[in-house]
């Protein structure tokens, strides 16, 4: 396999991983959380969220890792690290920021304290906790979709 073949493989993995990752975030934000709000029992709400989110958490971790590794490979392939110093590549900064936020949440903050905090707060006031989670997901989804849109446009020379 040539270096060019590896680059195209990395780009394909990158796009596929982003589609699965951000698509999952969109599902949780626009379908799962609003549906959970309609459940009367806070115990049911917490149990179902934990069950479904746990499954997606592994997918999100794997796809953010695949996104990061393939993105690193592509930058290294083109020796394009200097683009981080060029304001014309602001969309690259945005992509990296979104990736960094999710990586920090998934691999550091969630295991250290977010998961316990969620369970404690949900037992105290489920409605308020789920409203907070919904707002956080709305912000992250919006930022992610802007990053995807701008990254595709930027990678094709629009900006």
pLDDT at 156: 86
The domain spans of the chain are 3-155
Number of H helices, E strands in the chain: 6, 0
pLDDT of residue 12 exceeding 90, the answer is yes
Q: Name the pTM for this structure.
A: 0.90
Q: Would you list the DSSP string of 91-146?
A: HHHHHHHHHHHHHHIIIIIIIIIIHHHHHHHHHH-HHHHHHHHHHHHHHHHHHHHH
Q: What is the Cα–Cα distance from 152 to 134, expressed in whole angstroms?
A: 27
pLDDT of residue 6 exceeding 80, the answer is yes
């Amino acid at each position: 396999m040539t270096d060019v073949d590896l680059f195209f493989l990395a780009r394909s993995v990158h796009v596929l991983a982003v589609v699965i990752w951000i698509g999952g975030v969109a599902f949780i934000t626009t379908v799962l959380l609003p549906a959970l709000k309609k459940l009367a029992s806070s115990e049911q709400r917490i149990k179902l969220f934990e069950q479904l989110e746990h499954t997606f958490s592994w997918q999100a971790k794997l796809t953010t890792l695949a996104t990061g590794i393939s993105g690193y490979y592509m930058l290294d392939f083109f020796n394009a690290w200097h683009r981080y110093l060029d304001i014309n590549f602001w969309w690259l900064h945005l992509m990296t920021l979104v990736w960094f936020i999710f990586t920090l949440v998934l691999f550091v903050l969630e295991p250290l304290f977010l998961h316990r905090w969620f369970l404690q707060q949900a037992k105290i006031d489920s409605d308020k906790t789920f409203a907070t989670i919904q707002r956080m997901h709305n912000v992250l989804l919006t930022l992610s979709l802007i990053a995807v849109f701008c990254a595709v446009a930027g990678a094709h020379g629009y900006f």
